Amino acid sequence: MFWGLSDLTREVLPTLRKQHSGHIVNVSSIGGLTAFPAFGYYHATKFAVEGLSQSLAKEVQPLGINVTLVEPGAFRTDWSGPVSCGPYRND
């Protein structure tokens, strides 16, 4: 995930620099702010997205380019089946 985000950012930056404006929106998660057992690689990619986005925002702000980092928290889902929904299950 991180390398795709990085590659796409490198692709769009020349155009945004030329027009002296633009907005990059990167999606991370709460997993980029804190870590939980058994999710090390997931957290590593999210921490990388956080670091790149925060640094990039400071680098491109003088050029009129904005960077927004979206960090969604937990939300109900049954991506791995109804069991993962716990008490929120809606049958």
Say which of 6, 21, 42, 58 is annotated catalytic: 42
Measured in degrees and rounded to the nearest 5, phi and psi for residue 8 equal -65, -40
> Is 28 part of the annotated catalytic residue set?
yes
> Is 21 part of the annotated catalytic residue set?
no
Up-side HSE of residue 90: CA atoms within 13 Å toward CB?
A: 3
> Is 18 part of the annotated catalytic residue set?
no
Between CA 25 and CA 32, with CA 28 as vertex, the angle to 5 degrees is 140
Say which of 6, 29, 46, 55 is annotated catalytic: 46
Say which of 6, 21, 28, 55 is annotated catalytic: 28
CB burial class (10 A; 0-12, 13-18, 19+) of residue 31? buried
Residue corresponding to tokens 């945004």? 16
Give the residue numbers annotated as catalytic, written as ranges: 28, 42, 46
